[in-house]
Structure 1
Amino acid sequence: MKRDAPSFAALRIFAVAAQRQSFRDAGQALGLTPSAVSHQVRAVEDWVGAPLFLRQVRQVRLTPLGETLSERLSQAFFDIDTALGQARRQSVSTRLRIAALPLFTNVWLVPRLARFEALHPDLSLSIDTDARVVDLEKGEADIAIRNVAAVTTGLFGHKLLDLRATPLCTPQMAETVQVPQDLARATLIDLSVGRAGWPEWFEGVDCPRLKPARTLTFDNVPSAIDAAAQGRGVLLGLLPLVLDAPNASQLAAPLQHPPVDAGAYFVVCRKADRANATVQAFMTWLIREMKADVVRLRRLERERLK
């Protein structure tokens, strides 16, 4: 009955020993003792039925049969390594799914995407700007950019930018809003998704019971900014990023009250994806871009709110 062929490990050990013409050097390369290398080579020789090495004092050299087997195994292992490498490259995702908040996407991310695409021309991005919190653990996206107080347990994240909230409106409307209590007579522009917004701000300025005359609610920040710029009401803007919005130049901060902390933008992913080359490439690029832009954003905030 034909015996099973030598193990893959034994063949690898033989190939390394044949390449180095030394059991000791092969052992150092493989993390094995010379005796262990010799044992595995002997197993291959026993199966072949003939010596593959001529063993001499402190030296070994291949027999003609050993040379032939070594050449063929070297080619076989090269083919295996090549095939595995090709399979790995093909399995690396060329499409990255990102869930990002509308304000962040429209006023900051989109104007900079060309730089990322230039660095990674083979990578396609799919960006979801729905303000709902996608479930990364269920695979609804690969990366999310969120306005939160801290990273959700079970995810890996990095803070991009601290946020502060302050009322914004047209200069004409600002003349009627001098103190927080004046907002009780104004239309407050609100959002139907995301953080609580106005209630948190009222709490932060010690007016927790203040109620507006009316509210105008939108499901996305860009529309809310447009409405505020058209004089439809007072918007609670997230500084400093809101100041980059196209219509933000038409808005003023009516109150002298310091802005209220409003969480931060974080970029997050599944912990298991931290080593994913595609995810890592985008997160590294994003963090670097924001770090380079923070000084400009803070200067813009100081200039607009002084």
Structure 2
Amino acid sequence: MTRKLPPLNALRAFEAAARLQSFQEAAEELGVTAAAVSQQVKTLENVLGVKLFRRFHRGVELTQPGRVYLERIAPALDSIASATDELTRVEHSAIVRVTALPGFAEQWLVPRLSRFRKTHPEIELILSTDAEVVDFRSTDCDVGLRCTEGNHPGLVVRELFRDRLFPVCHPRLAEELQGPASLMGQTLLYDQHWHDDWRHWLEHVGHPAFERCESIAFGLYSMAVNSAVNGLGVLIGHDSLIDRELASGALVRPFPEDVPAKCAHYVVWPTWVERRPSVLAFVSWVLAEARETRQQVAG
């Protein structure tokens, strides 16, 4: 059954004027003119076919139907105001829901979260890892960290950085490698979400096709990294995701050749969350961390 509702602006004007017994005071509360309130009330009276006020030179007075109508609609408007206030408090709460690709979350984001907590202890992060691009319209996620070509219509998009790709392995295994052609006798490790990385690098250096090499695909980049650290094979590394392993010497670069990744890392969010300070704080922090990552790579 279709609800038969009067114009809501007219309803608001009537409720304010009836509660305050004054068109002028209602106008001040609503931020409009007294003439506008009078016109809205007249519109409502025409829609209802009922006289709601008696108008006098110095003011107005509710009619009997007007008093009855006020008694019925006031609780409904109070309920709407209460629901709106409650929803607004939730939307402005210090909770930020973030979605990220598993490898990026594990290797780049999570190791840095302690710094975010020190800066914003009042903000609660809820982090989920998704291999597929999340539709913000059908989930409650606020911010996405994605490795894509950056084409996300309807979202605010900011590039974080673009990885450079190069092989890495255990130091002992590196001693056995004599140029890219020697990869033919090794096991190539990679994250299945970035299944083209090895092919991209091999084509860049002009060496054997990926299909001619032994390989193992992992569902998590951290698993591929740990396997390389333990000497299982040679990993195609993303520089921003293996910086700790390179710094510690757990992994080394057997060859100097590298190539930019086809996709870059982005932070994205829908415009409707921009009014929430907690979301903007997280986005600003991520962008600052990304600038630091870029500077480290450039240095």
Whether these two folds match at TM > 0.5 is yes
Relative to structure 1, is the Cα distance of residues 8 and 101 closer, same or farther in structure 2, using a 3 angstrom cutoff?
Answer: closer
Shift of 1:144: 4.3
Query: Given residue 191 of structure 2, which amino acid in structure 1 is its aligned partner?
Result: L
C-alpha RMSD of matched pairs (Å): 4.7
* One of 269, 275, 278 as aligned partner of 2:272: 275
Q: Distance in 1 between matches of 2:245 and 2:283?
A: 21
What residue ranges of structure 1 are gaps of 5+ in the alignment? none
What do the CA deviations read for 1:166-204 (whole angstroms, capped 9, x no partner)? 111123333343532232233322333334110111122
Residue 193 of structure 1 aligns to a residue in which SS?
Answer: helix
Residue 147 of structure 2 aligns to a residue in which SS?
Answer: strand
What do the CA deviations read for 1:195-228 (whole angstroms, capped 9, x no partner)? 4110111122233646665323322211111121
What residue ranges of structure 2 are gaps of 5+ in the alignment? none
| 1:257 matches 2:257 | yes
Query: Given residue 36 of structure 1, which amino acid in structure 2 is its aligned partner?
Result: Q
Q: Distance in 2 between matches of 1:233 and 1:34?
A: 76
Aligned twin of 1:118:
121
Relative to structure 1, is the Cα distance of residues 204 and 104 closer, same or farther in structure 2, using a 3 angstrom cutoff?
Answer: same
- Residues 184 and 211 of structure 1 are in contact (CA less than 8 Å); yes or no, is this contact kept in structure 2? no
Aligned twin of 2:243:
243
Aligned twin of 1:201:
201
Residue 254 of structure 2 aligns to a residue in which SS?
Answer: coil
Relative to structure 1, is the Cα distance of residues 93 and 252 closer, same or farther in structure 2, using a 3 angstrom cutoff?
Answer: same
Larger radius of gyration: 1
Relative to structure 1, is the Cα distance of residues 110 and 43 closer, same or farther in structure 2, using a 3 angstrom cutoff?
Answer: same
| 1:298 matches 2:294 | yes
Relative to structure 1, is the Cα distance of residues 248 and 288 closer, same or farther in structure 2, using a 3 angstrom cutoff?
Answer: farther
Shift of 1:266: 2.5
Q: Distance in 1 between matches of 2:256 and 2:111?
A: 32
What do the CA deviations read for 1:219-245 (whole angstroms, capped 9, x no partner)? 221111112112222111111222145
Relative to structure 1, is the Cα distance of residues 252 and 282 closer, same or farther in structure 2, using a 3 angstrom cutoff?
Answer: farther
Q: TM-score, normalised by structure 2?
A: 0.69
Shift of 1:52: 2.9
Relative to structure 1, is the Cα distance of residues 106 and 247 closer, same or farther in structure 2, using a 3 angstrom cutoff?
Answer: farther
Aligned twin of 1:226:
226
* One of 28, 52, 61 as aligned partner of 2:54: 52
Q: Distance in 2 between matches of 1:190 and 1:136?
A: 27
Aligned twin of 1:108:
108
- Residues 191 and 220 of structure 2 are in contact (CA less than 8 Å); yes or no, is this contact kept in structure 1? yes
Q: Distance in 1 between matches of 2:11 and 2:138?
A: 41
Residue 272 of structure 2 aligns to a residue in which SS?
Answer: coil
* Percent identical: 21
